Amino acid sequence: MTTHLFRRGLAAFAVCALASGLFAQAPKINFPDASPSVAITQRVGLTDIQINYNRPGAKGRKVYGGLVAYDHIWRTGANTATKVSFSTPVKLNGTTIPAGTYELFTIPGATQWTVIIHKNMSQWGAYTYDEKNDVARFQVVPVEMDDHVETLDISVNDIRDESATLNISWEKTRVPIAVTLDVKSTLVPQIEAVMAAGEQLPPNVYARAAMYYLENHLDLKKAAAWMDAALAAQPDAFYLVYRKALILEAMGDKAGAIATAQKSLEAAQKAPSPALRDEYVGLNQALIDRLQ
Per-residue HEC secondary structure of 151-210 comes to: EEEEEEECCCCCEEEEEEEEEEEEEEEEEECCCHHHHHHHHHHHHHCCCCCCHHHHHHHH
Q: By the 8 A CB rule, do 76 and 106 touch? A: yes
Residue 76: predicted pLDDT:
97
Between CA 66 and CA 274 the distance in angstroms is: 55
Residue 15: predicted pLDDT:
45
Residue 127: predicted pLDDT:
87
Residue 18: predicted pLDDT:
45
Between CA 290 and CA 292 the distance in angstroms is: 6
Residue 125: predicted pLDDT:
86
DSSP 132: G
Q: Where are the beta strands (DSSP E) in the chain?
A: 37-44, 47-54, 83-86, 90-92, 95-97, 100-107, 113-119, 134-140, 143-157, 163-180
Question: Where in the chain do CATH 1.25.40.10 domains reside?
Answer: 184-291
DSSP 81: P
β-bridge partners, 124: 80
Name the 3-class secondary structure at 226: helix
Residue 122: predicted pLDDT:
76
* H/E run at residue 75: none
How far, CA to CA in Å, does 109 sit from each of 81, 99, 121, 164? 19, 28, 25, 24
Residue 121: predicted pLDDT:
77
Residue 116's nearest CA partner among 127, 129, 106, 130 is 106
Residue 123: predicted pLDDT:
80
pLDDT digit of tens for each residue in the chain (292 aa)?
444 443 444 444 444 444 455 455 668 898 999 999 999 999 999 999 999 999 999 999 999 999 999 999 999 999 999 999 999 999 999 999 999 999 999 999 999 999 999 997 778 888 889 999 999 999 999 999 999 999 999 999 999 999 999 999 999 999 999 999 999 999 999 999 999 998 899 999 999 999 999 999 999 999 999 999 999 999 999 999 999 999 999 999 999 999 999 999 999 999 999 999 999 999 999 999 999 9
Sheet-wide strand order for 134-140: 37-44, 47-54, 83-86, 100-107, 113-119, 134-140
Residue 126: predicted pLDDT:
87
Residue 27: predicted pLDDT:
81
Amino acid, single-letter form, for residue 174: R
Residue 54: predicted pLDDT:
97
**CATH number for the 184-291 domain, one of 3.40.50.2300, 3.50.50.60, 1.25.40.10, 1.10.287.1060?**
1.25.40.10
How far, CA to CA in Å, does 95 sit from each of 42, 182, 237? 20, 13, 44
Amino acid, single-letter form, for residue 168: I
**Residues across the chain:** 292
